[in-house]
Amino acid sequence: MSFTLPFLLIGFLVAVWAVIFIIKKYFPAKATHWLVMIYVSILLLSVAIVMIGMEIKQPFKDGDTVRKVSEPGFQEEIYQAFKEGKDLEPFEKYVAMEKVFPLEPGVSVVKIEKTGKEGLPLTVFIKRNKENSGQIAAKVYSHAFQEVFGYQMTAAFPPPKLKWSKNQLSISAPKVQEVNLYFVNKEFPVHQFREKEKRDTGYTSWAWFVIYLQIPEHIQIEEGDNVFVEYL
């Protein structure tokens, strides 16, 4: 779209210019005529561009499957699944990141800390493995949800970043995400006679992420500030 537009514009202007050139011989136009013509041309051109290149999403309809995600209790479910050792299979689709950090020989203490004070508090589930696998396996489950005025936005919310150095796992929580939402309404004279749409004025947003670590039992764990650790 962004490539074709300039060409479209240039082509259109050339066409307008040609028409003007021909008309000019028979029609002594004045400045006002030109201004009106240019104005109308811009209006018509915009119609063409909008028709070709713009997608406008319809209001969200009830019963759409996507909405299920926002059902209350969803967050509780995954917590429950962790605590009770249930099958984590249904939550696999929310895995945003999976990483393995090798443990160097001789490391006996691992510090988990949050860098920066911004963002959501971190919940870390740690499962102690009896055998020494010589590594830390990390999984990040993440999901964000935003619903504005009845429209569900597919806001991408980046997962926390994990950084491993020697014996320290630094977790940086994602920053506040700037989201621009673009709405277009029907004009009041149209709205006046159309069946009233239910206008939802609600705003809901939530985001959660869970960090799931598997760490060998013999490694001591030191908790940093703003990190809530739950041992499974």
Binding site for other proteins (CB under 8 A): 5, 30, 32-33, 35-36, 39-40, 42-44, 46-47, 49-50, 53-59, 119-120, 144, 146, 148-149, 151, 155, 157, 176-190, 192-194, 197, 203, 205-207
Q: Which is nearer to other proteins, 30 or 130 (CB)?
A: 30
Residue 130 C-beta: closest distance to other proteins, Å:
37
Q: Which residue has the tokens 């050792």?
A: 85
Of 63, 111, 59, the closest CA to residue 229 belongs to: 111
DSSP-assigned beta bridge partners for residue 216: 129
Q: How far is the CB of 154 from other proteins (least distance, A)?
A: 9
Note whether 171 and 114 are within 8 A (CB).
Answer: yes
Nearest approach in angstroms of CB 192 to other proteins is 6
- Report the nearest approach of other proteins to the CB of residue 30 (Å): 7
Nearer Cβ to other proteins (18/44): 44
Nearest residue (CB) to other proteins, 204 versus 220? 204
Of the pair 51, 89, the CB lying nearest other proteins is at: 51
d(CA 138, CA 125): 10
Token pair 């040609």: residue? 18
Nearest approach, Cβ of residue 52 and other proteins (Å): 11
SS3 state of residue 31: helix
Q: Judged by CB, which is closer to other proteins: 34, or 231?
A: 34
**Closest CA relative to residue 121, chosen from 175, 173, 178:** 173
- H or E stretch at 24: helix 4-26
Between 65 and 201, CB nearer to other proteins: 201
Instruction: Centre a 10 Å sphere on the Cβ of residue 186 and count the other Cβ atoms it contains.
Output: 10
Least spacing, CB of residue 103 vs other proteins, in Å? 33
| Residue 92 DSSP SS3 | helix
Least CB distance from residue 92 to other proteins, whole Å? 23
Tokens of 193: 């006679």
Query: Around Cβ 168, how many Cβ atoms within 10 Å?
Result: 15
134: amino acid identity, one letter: G
Cβ within 8 Å of residue 52, ≥6 positions away? none
Of 105 and 190, which CB lies nearer to other proteins in the complex structure?
190
